[in-house]
Structure 1
Amino acid sequence: MAVFSRFRAFIRLYPMTRGMLSYAAIWPTSNLIQQTIVSGRDFKTYDYKQALRFSLFGGLFTAPTLYCWIRLSGFMLPGRSFKTAVKKALIEQVTYGPSAMVCFFFGMSLLEGKTMKEAKNQVKEKLFPTYKVGICFWPVLQTINFCFITERNRVPFVSCCSLIWTCFLAYMHEHGAKPEEQKKLQHATSS
């Protein structure tokens, strides 16, 4: 019990760590789910290095930036009314959302050892298709988050919602639509 009490005290003292720990666990879990569903992998064939990269990126980058965004949005637009929650969710979709996606594709590419040019190409190829899906997914969840969830629990709430989203991000990163391949496929099916 003493260890649990110390852990709770530590999390109260450093609230960002709750989100960091949840993202460090949920993001690699999402990656492993994606590997299972899309690639048919199992415990023997999982790409555990890829899952580790998701853990590092989720825990050390996404959680802290999201924590800062949520704190900033609470400062800029205080309150939990439905109208305020919708405003925050929409502002997030045009500010934090696109920049987080750029950082994800760019950062994950660099963590894989790709060149700057390859990382830029990942962003160019996958940002807009991913953003189109995100704009349907996140505003509803973030409106619920900003309206009904206390500020202290907002990052953990989003991290739970991100289980599904990160499965999609993992898919887009690994197999996502590439414009050149789409054009070839469309050309081949129309001929």
Structure 2
Amino acid sequence: MSPWYRAVRSVLEKHPLVRGMITYSVVWPTSNLVQQSFDKTRKKYDYMEATRYAIVGTFGMAPMVFTWLKAAVWLVPGTTIKHAIFKAYLEQILFAPLGQSQFYLGITLLEGKAWKDCVQEWKDKIIPTWKVSVWFWPFIQIINFGYVPERNRVVVVSCASFVWTVFLSYMHHFKGQTLWEIMHHKHREWRRDHWEYEPLDDPALKGLEDETDETNIENDDKKA
């Protein structure tokens, strides 16, 4: 085994924060690039945007997660499943709003926006983001607190952050829209593409559509 490999492995084992920062430096920009690939409004990848995600994830989120995981063990000592559940939901009260605030404020500041614009995006999106977080993160953290050794918990969170950061990137990209507005817009697009403007190829459904139209015409005639 190479001495360099042993030295690096020793550092990573002794310093879980460093290991977490390295993981976040890969996961966060990758998540952003995945979101960009799903975005039909983009013609090419924005690698500077991915770099900003790497900076926020590595130097902002990773240390925050590390600190919180240490604090959670101190606040709620114990490793039973009951303790894990309590820690997971306590996280959504104490840590999640801070972490999400850091994301929105940090990423917009790195974009060079004015402070008032950063705060406005935070106001528009922090509550909708937190509502989704309450459903997503407790499941991950119950497993993390209940079954994963403490030295590996930052890595587990960073891996789950891959999916979460795709969502954050999606939320950040839709400027000035709440989650409800985004979902409503997507629902209308789906109806337009799959129901209202596509012909019904199934003969049975086509017959049902014709019968419905005839019934509506008869009802209109009676009203007249």
Settle same-fold status: TM greater than 0.5.
yes
**Cα distance, 1:113–1:176 mapped onto 2, change above 3 Å:** closer
Superposed CA deviations along residues 105-155 of structure 1, whole A, max 9, x for unmatched, are 011100000010000001001111111111110011111110011101101
Aligned to 2:126: 127
Alpha-carbon contact 1:126-1:176 (below 8 Å) kept: no
Superposed CA deviations along residues 49-73 of structure 1, whole A, max 9, x for unmatched, are 0100000100111000100100111
| AA in 2 matched with 1:120 | V
| AA in 2 matched with 1:4 | Y
| AA in 2 matched with 1:24 | S
The structure, 1 or 2, with the larger RCO (C-alpha pairs under 8 Å, 6+ apart) is 1
Structure 1: 5+ residue runs without aligned partners?
none
Max Rg structure: 2
The 1-side partners of 2:132 and 2:126 are apart by 10
The 2-side partners of 1:36 and 1:165 are apart by 16
Q: Secondary structure at the match of 1:119?
A: helix
The 1-side partners of 2:42 and 2:108 are apart by 21
**How far does residue 79 in structure 1 lie from its aligned partner after superposition?**
2.0
Is 1:164 aligned to residue 163 of structure 2? yes
Q: How many residues are paired up?
A: 183
Alpha-carbon contact 2:121-2:175 (below 8 Å) kept: no
Aligned to 2:32: 31
Aligned to 1:110: 109
Is 1:96 aligned to residue 89 of structure 2? no
**How far does residue 75 in structure 1 lie from its aligned partner after superposition?**
1.6
**How far does residue 9 in structure 1 lie from its aligned partner after superposition?**
1.5
The 2-side partners of 1:111 and 1:56 are apart by 9
Aligned to 2:149: 150
Superposed CA deviations along residues 17-49 of structure 1, whole A, max 9, x for unmatched, are 01000001000000000000124658xx21000
Superposed CA deviations along residues 132-189 of structure 1, whole A, max 9, x for unmatched, are 111110011111110011101101001111100000000001126625x94xx89xx9
Give the 4+ runs in structure 1 shifted more than 6 A.
Answer: none
Alpha-carbon contact 2:84-2:146 (below 8 Å) kept: yes
Quick one: percent identity of the two aligned structures?
Answer: 38
- The alignment's C-alpha RMSD in Å is 2.1
Structure 2: 5+ residue runs without aligned partners?
189-224
